[in-house]
C-alpha cells in the first residue's frame, strides 16, 4: 500500500493562512486505512483556521487515484443501505427541492445540467424529470457503472481537471456532498465556475461544521476526557478532509466572485435515522432525543446540513449596459 497516501504539511486550503488552532484528533480509522501501515497517522490533527474558520486535516492527507477508487467503491460499501424513509428523502425529495430552489435564483432558463460527484445517480435521475440535458461526473468507475444502469447516462469518470466541456456551457451545476472531500477547494470551485454560463447557478450541499450538534458532541468528548473531535472524519467513511461553516462559505463566495442569495443550515433532522441497522431500546431512545435536538437546531438555522446557492450574476453587466444605453438615448435627443 506504499505510495497510496502521503501526509503533507500545508497552510489553510481556503485562505492560505498559517494561523490555526488544534481542535482534536480524528475520530475513527477504518479497515481501509488501518491496512496502510507505511504511514503513521498518529501525528494527524483536525485544525481550525483562525482567519477564515475552515476546518481541515493537518498534516493534510493526499490520496492516490488508486486509494480514492478503493475509498469510493461498492466493495468498501461507501453508500450504505438507507431506511425506506431516508431513501425517499435523499433520492427524491431533496434533489427536487434543491432544483426548484436553484431554478428560483437562476437568471437564465436551465437547459444544461451538470452534477459533480453524482455518486449513485439519483440527482441525475431527478434532473431528467425536469427535462434538462443531463451530464454527470464522478471519480469512481464503480459508481459510473451504477449510474449507467440506473439512468442510461454515460458520466465522465475522473477528476474535474480532466473535463472537456465547453466554457460557460452549463446553466446549473449541482454539487452535493463533494466539496468536503477535495484537497484544494478554491482551485476546484474556480475550475467548475469556468463551465457555468453568466446568470447560471451552482447549488452546493455540504455539512455545516459549526452546527450545534457538533458542539454538543465535542462537549461530550471533552467530558469523557477524550482528545477526539466530532468534526470531519478523514480516515473513515465519509472521508471528509475539509469542513465549512457559513463564514468560510461566504469567504469562498468572495474569492469566486459569485453572489450568495441563499444559504440555509436546515434539513438535518433526517440524518438521524439514515441507515438500516438494529438498535437496542436505549439506543432507540437516544435517537429520539438526538432527533429532537436536530429538529430544534434546524428551526434556528444551526443544523448539521448546509445548502448554498451561488449565482454568476448578470446584474453588474446589465447595469453597465443600461448606463451606456441611457447615455446613448440622452445624446440622441440632444
Ligand atoms: Zn483559512
DSSP characters over 137-169: EES-HHHHHHHHHHH---PEES-GGG--PPTT-
Q: How far is the CA of 11 from the centre of ligand 1 (A)?
A: 8
Dist. CA 53 → ligand 1 center (Å): 6
CA 209–ligand 1 middle distance (angstroms): 14
- pLDDT, residue 262, reads 96
Q: Which three cell numbers stand for residue 67?
A: 486509494
Average pLDDT over residues 148-163: 88
Q: Per residue in 24-64, pLDDT tens?
A: 999 888 888 888 888 888 899 999 999 999 999 999 988 88
Residue 309: predicted pLDDT:
97
Rounded to the nearest angstrom, the distance between the alpha carbon of 217 and the centre of ligand 1 is 23
Domain boundaries of the chain, sorted by first residue: 67-323
Q: In the prediction, which pLDDT does 4 show?
A: 85
Q: How far is the CA of 235 from the centre of ligand 1 (A)?
A: 22
Gap between the Cα atoms of 65 and 83, Å rounded: 31
**How many angstroms is it from 51 CA to the middle of ligand 1?**
5
Task: Say which CATH topology domain 67-323 has.
Answer: Rossmann fold (3.40.50)
- What DSSP string describes 64-91? -HHHHHHHTSTTTTSSPPBPHHHHHIII
E strand or H helix at 241? none
CA of 190 to the centre of ligand 1 (A): 17
Q: Say if residue 86's pLDDT is above 60.
A: yes
| Burial class for 308, CB neighbours closer than 10 Å (0-12, 13-18, 19+) | buried
- Cα(334) to ligand 1 centroid in Å equals 54
Residue 311, CA distances (Å) to 41, 96, 288 in order: 39, 19, 38
Share of the chain above pLDDT 70, in %: 93
pLDDT in tens, 213-247: 999 999 999 999 999 999 998 998 889 999 999 99
**Kind of pairing between the strands at 20-24 and 45-49:** antiparallel
Q: Where are the alpha helices (DSSP H) in the chain?
A: 31-34, 65-71, 84-88, 94-105, 122-129, 141-151, 185-193, 212-223, 246-256, 281-299, 315-333
Distance 59 CA to ligand 1 centre (A): 15
CA 145 / ligand 1 centre spacing (Å)? 37
Cα-to-centroid distance, 248 and ligand 1 (Å): 8
Is the pLDDT reported for residue 74 higher than 90? no
Amino acid at each position: 500500500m506504499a505510495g497510496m497516501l502521503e501526509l503533507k504539511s500545508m497552510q489553510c486550503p481556503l485562505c492560505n493562512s498559517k494561523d490555526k488552532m488544534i481542535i482534536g484528533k480524528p475520530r475513527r480509522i477504518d479497515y481501509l486505512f488501518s491496512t496502510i501501515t507505511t504511514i503513521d497517522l498518529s501525528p494527524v490533527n483536525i485544525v481550525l483556521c483562525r482567519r477564515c474558520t475552515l476546518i481541515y486535516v493537518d498534516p493534510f492527507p493526499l490520496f492516490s487515484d488508486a486509494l480514492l477508487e478503493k475509498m469510493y467503491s461498492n466493495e468498501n460499501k461507501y453508500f450504505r443501505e438507507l431506511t425506506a424513509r431516508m431513501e425517499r428523502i435523499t433520492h427524491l425529495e431533496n434533489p427536487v427541492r434543491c432544483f426548484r430552489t436553484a431554478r428560483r435564483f437562476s437568471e437564465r432558463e436551465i437547459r444544461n445540467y451538470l452534477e459533480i460527484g453524482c455518486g449513485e445517480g439519483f440527482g441525475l435521475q431527478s434532473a431528467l424529470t425536469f427535462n434538462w440535458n443531463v451530464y454527470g461526473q464522478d471519480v469512481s468507475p464503480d459508481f459510473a457503472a451504477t449510474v449507467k444502469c440506473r439512468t442510461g447516462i454515460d458520466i465522465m469518470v475522473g477528476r474535474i481537471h480532466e473535463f472537456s466541456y465547453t466554457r460557460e456551457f452549463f446553466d446549473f451545476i449541482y454539487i452535493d456532498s463533494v466539496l468536503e472531500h477535495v484537497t484544494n477547494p478554491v482551485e476546484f470551485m474556480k475550475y467548475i465556475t469556468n463551465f457555468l454560463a453568466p446568470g447560471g447557478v451552482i447549488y452546493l450541499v455540504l455539512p455545516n461544521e459549526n452546527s450545534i450538534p457538533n458542539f454538543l458532541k465535542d462537549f461530550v468528548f471533552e467530558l469523557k476526557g477524550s482528545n477526539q473531535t466530532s468534526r470531519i472524519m478523514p480516515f473513515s467513511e465519509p472521508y471528509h478532509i475539509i469542513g465549512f461553516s457559513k463564514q468560510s462559505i461566504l469567504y469562498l463566495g468572495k474569492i469566486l466572485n459569485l453572489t450568495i442569495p441563499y444559504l440555509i443550515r436546515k434539513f438535518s433532522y433526517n440524518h438521524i435515522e439514515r441507515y438500516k441497522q438494529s438498535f437496542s431500546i436505549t439506543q432507540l431512545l437516544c435517537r429520539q432525543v438526538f432527533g429532537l435536538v436536530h429538529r430544534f437546531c434546524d428551526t434556528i438555522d444551526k443544523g448539521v446540513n448546509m445548502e448554498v446557492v451561488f449565482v454568476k450574476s448578470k446584474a453588474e453587466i446589465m447595469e453597465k449596459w443600461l448606463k451606456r444605453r441611457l447615455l446613448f438615448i440622452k445624446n440622441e435627443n440632444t
